[in-house]
Structure 1
């Protein structure tokens, strides 16, 4: 998760955003986590998601610049390492960590985070996914199933 958050922070800085939002996390996650990529329904769907994320990073997401995702819902920077995260991104990371603990794992993985990102229908990651034609309920089910299979394998 540290690599995903670090990548998302770099992307936010390059994009000129003050906070890392869930779309930054999604972008970093699909670039760096093979298990998260496998949760998508084949290459064409993942290619559409990445294409939309790249378009967003080169300027098509300007309507989001200067705004904070989830502003007003929760204070930003709630926990350790949450500085610079939108409230929604911080909650997604916290919930992913809790999901890992419930499974008996010390740290969240990419599938934990992917499941949490798609669990909030109002977050920017879901907006990106839906614009790319992803049915988020199916993606969530695949991410959860793949996590259960991975856990069963040990």
Structure 2
């Protein structure tokens, strides 16, 4: 029987990449917490990899700033409701399937993440670097998650009547007002 969550390569057992770069060194405390939560959620749900919906769910639980940019309270509650339903069986059609939207290039070297989730993590770090930040934050990840229209996170947002383009516009406006 194959394990549900892929084992980490020997060089990654301590959470570090083989090249010695600790992924958490690239993340704010909130984002590191969200990634840890997504990892636990995927394992608990029996999913083979952390996908963009796991990341969105944990991000909304861990990062108040990202949660606020999603929209008003009822909108966020609807999104979290869909995500909870997914974790208790709503998303069973996703289990045992790798998330691969085809809309983003495959990113290698991030064990345990679906290709779109790995690409979103890399894009979050790139967004932070473009604005001169040392670490990516939850808002960077939120923007990266909503950028792939075929990602599971975007599917959840659509079911909750949340427009990804509107979320991205709020994120961009947020960064313009804080710079």
Number of corresponding residues: 148
Deviation string 1:97-134 (CA, Å, 9 cap, x unpaired) is 01101111111101110011000000000000000110
Q: Distance in 1 between matches of 2:117 and 2:163?
A: 20
1:16 equivalent in structure 2: 46
1:40 and 2:107 equivalent?
A: no
Q: Distance in 1 between matches of 2:152 and 2:38?
A: 13
Q: How does 1:1-154 map to 2 (within 5 A)?
A: 1-70=31-100, 78-79=108-109, 82-150=110-178, 152=179
Which TM-score applies when normalising by structure 2?
A: 0.79
Deviation at 1:75, TM superposition (A): 5.2
- Runs of 4+ in structure 1 displaced over 4 angstroms? 71-76
- More off after superposition, 64-73 vs 17-26: 64-73
Which TM-score applies when normalising by structure 1?
A: 0.91
Q: Distance in 2 between matches of 1:75 and 1:148?
A: 30
Larger Rg: 2
Deviation string 1:48-100 (CA, Å, 9 cap, x unpaired) is 00000000000110000010001777656x23xx2100011000000110110
- In terms of fraction of residues, the more helix-rich structure is 1
Unpaired runs of at least 5, structure 1: none
Unpaired runs of at least 5, structure 2: 1-30
Q: Distance in 2 between matches of 1:75 and 1:19?
A: 14
